[in-house]
Each structure stands twice: as structure tokens, then as C-alpha cells.
């Protein structure tokens, strides 16, 4: 800034003021973290004391239409509707009704807040989080199955439902990737190369894992926002 022909430099704030600002920043960060953790614990406790019938949430992450909807329609046909929920993430604005699907089980099951997804990009992860968040709104959902538009059931509903409900484990697919070009050195040191694995987008999740997955993201977002 120039005043009366002289150049004036902005003086740095006094040391005590800088310390005060830093202290307030960390206090805000701590408050955000505690609040997020408290909300997560409340959601877990609420589900632990849920006394109604437990359901399996089928989460379909698809590109547009569901080409194998007739297979899934037969799968759900003889099942008790109180035992399952269906959530679909498709192209934004796409509506599942009698003109777009052959199975009435998918009518109106699309997410209203879906996003544009590119295969192999981080947008797929965002779409998965949207599906999980929607399913977690119903405390009856205790098991979560993430599916693509090419997945089909190999057993009847009763067998799969009982298997998922009786098992306390989550099922994911990960393996060493022979393609060296997939690892980005920029991911280090958070993700070292010797820990890098390739995995399938589909899988089955236990209720506690799904809640932790979403709230860890929320806590991290609060941390970065407070430090910005």
C-alpha cells in the first residue's frame, strides 16, 4: 500500500494474537470432531437397540437402466418385503417406473440426489456413500450389499438372506495388482506401494462398518474445514 509517496508494509499480528487464533482453531476442530463422533455413536446405539425385523439393503450402483431387472424381479418375487430394501443409484434424473423397468420392485427406488459417475473414477466412491447414507436412514437395515448392473443372484432369497443375517463378517474382494501403472506415487506416504491393492466395487458390509465408513469421512471433512 502507498501513502504519501511511502511504501508501508503490513505489520504481522502480535505473537499473543497469533497464539489466540491458533488456540481457537484447534478448539473448533476438537468440537467438530467430538460432535461427529457423538453422532456416530448415537446412530450405532440406536441400531443396536432396534427390536423390529432386520432387513438386507440391496444397493444397486448402475450406469443407467438395470438390464437384468427381470432376474432380480424373480429373486424378490417370493420374498417377504419386510426382509429387504432396495436402493438404486443411476444417471441423475433417471426414473424407474413401468416404462423403464420390467420389475415393480424397482419402481421409485432411485436416489433423488444421484450424481454423474465415471467408471474407475472417485465419483464411484461418492455414489457408494450416497447409497449407504440413504440405506442407513432406515434402522431396520442391518446388512448392506453393494451390487453393479451385471450382478445376478446365484441362490434364492431365503438362502442369501439367512446367510447374510447369520454371518457377522463383511465380505470384500482385494488382491495384488499386476499392473504397475495403477499406483500413483502421489498417494505416498498415506498409502505406501507395498500396501496398494486392487479390489472389486461390489461387496457385502456389516452395519457397524457402514456407519464407520460414512462418519470417518464426515470427521475428516470437519478437520480439513477447520484448518482451512
The full set of domain ranges for the chain reads 58-226
Which strand (E) or helix (H) includes residue 6? Answer: strand 6-7
Query: How far apart, in Å, are the Cα atoms of 209 and each of 145, 162, 203?
Result: 12, 19, 12
Query: What gap in Å lies between CA 180 and CA 178, rounded to an integer?
Result: 6
Round to the nearest angstrom and report the end-to-end CA distance of the chain.
26
Contact of 69 with 156, CB cutoff 8 Å: no
CA angle 146, 121, 133 (to 5 degrees): 40
Those residues of the chain that have pLDDT short of 50 are: 1-8, 16-26, 28-38, 40-41, 45, 202-228
* Per-residue pLDDT, 189: 79
Amino acid at each position: 500500500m502507498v501513502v504519501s509517496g511511502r511504501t508501508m508494509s503490513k505489520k504481522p499480528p502480535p505473537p499473543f494474537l497469533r497464539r489466540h487464533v491458533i488456540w481457537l482453531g484447534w478448539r473448533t476442530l476438537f468440537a467438530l470432531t467430538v460432535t461427529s463422533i457423538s453422532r456416530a455413536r448415537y446412530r450405532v446405539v440406536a441400531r443396536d437397540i432396534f427390536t423390529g425385523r432386520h432387513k438386507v439393503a440391496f444397493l444397486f450402483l448402475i450406469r443407467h437402466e438395470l438390464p437384468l431387472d427381470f432376474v432380480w424381479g424373480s429373486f424378490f418375487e417370493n420374498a417377504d418385503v419386510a426382509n429387504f430394501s432396495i436402493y438404486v443409484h443411476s444417471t441423475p434424473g433417471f426414473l424407474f417406473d413401468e416404462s423403464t423397468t420390467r420389475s415393480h420392485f424397482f419402481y421409485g427406488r432411485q436416489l433423488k440426489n444421484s450424481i454423474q459417475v465415471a467408471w474407475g473414477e472417485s465419483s464411484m466412491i461418492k455414489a457408494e456413500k450416497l447409497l449407504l447414507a440413504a440405506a442407513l436412514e432406515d434402522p431396520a437395515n442391518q446388512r448392506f450389499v453393494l451390487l453393479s448392473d451385471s450382478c445376478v443372484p446365484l441362490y434364492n432369497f431365503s438362502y442369501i438372506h439367512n446367510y447374510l443375517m447369520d454371518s457377522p463378517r463383511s465380505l470384500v474382494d482385494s488382491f495384488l495388482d499386476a499392473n504397475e501403472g495403477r499406483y500413483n506415487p502421489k498417494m505416498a506416504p498415506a498409502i505406501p506401494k507395498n500396501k496398494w491393492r486392487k479390489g472389486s466395487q461390489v461387496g457385502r458390509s456389516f452395519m457397524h462398518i457402514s456407519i464407520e465408513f460414512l462418519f470417518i469421512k464426515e470427521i475428516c471433512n470437519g478437520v480439513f474445514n477447520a484448518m482451512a
